[in-house]
Structure 1
Amino acid sequence: MDDSQGMGWGYGLGACNSWTGSEAQGFNLQYAFVNESGASPNHSRQHLPEKNATDMPVGDVDSSSDTYVWTIRYQDEDTVTLTQNEGISLGPYPLTRGEGTSRSPLPRDCRGKGVFLRVFNADVTFSDFSIEQLAA
């Protein structure tokens, strides 16, 4: 890992995502750090393909180097809630953009879309995946 001044590292969790062959589209929570005279949290919510499209208060997630359990809950075809270690809930966040935005649109619904895991400049281990449909 390159943790020199100005470098960042971490991972991202996404729901309602698709891959066009050249870029990702969809919602993403980036759990990240940047070296600004020491490791500083740089967590953000993103509407891919734009990077760091929406900032998120850094106090919303635990920033220690530890093992985490993340739950991504997609509901009502247009929102996502992420929960860390069955305690800290983030969201609900909209999965789609409003009309008239200058950024590229997100999907109107999540049918046929997937869950993305993104890792950059770090070693991350993902394990114990499960997907279940919740009652409507």
Structure 2
Amino acid sequence: MSRFASLALGLALWGISTGVMAEGVQRIVLNAKMEQECTACHIAYWPNFLPTSAWKQVMDSLDRHYGADASLSAADQKEITDWIVANSQEFGEVPPGNRITKAFWFTRQHGTRHISADVWSRQSVKSPSNCQACHVNAAEGDFNEHKVRIPR
């Protein structure tokens, strides 16, 4: 798939889950178990943020989840994985390390042309993975660029 096609598909999928859509179409609702488990440490990321194959790799390595042990019971891991697989798509390339912040669509939207490099090191932001620092409604899946507030 060409980079342009990957970007177009990624943006379309992003729009579907973030409310950038026609009036009356509902946004996806996160799996309750996933939301509970993920938000113990960070925002529950939306299934369209990574290709399905990347999500499978993430879910298969929870015992070493980006430097932490995020292991779940077999039943919980299966429930969450099944939900993510059902709600994600295999689009674009798997980003290095399965990191959302390294995905083409993310770097395109959050690169230095759009966001000053010093923003990521601010105490109020800390890192590119801290979506809710700037996207005030990120926990609800609303990443509308008109509602972004970059903190000082």
State the TM-score bracket (shorter-chain normalisation): under 0.3
Which structure shows the higher strand fraction?
1
More helix by percentage: 2
TM-score, with length taken from structure 1:
0.28
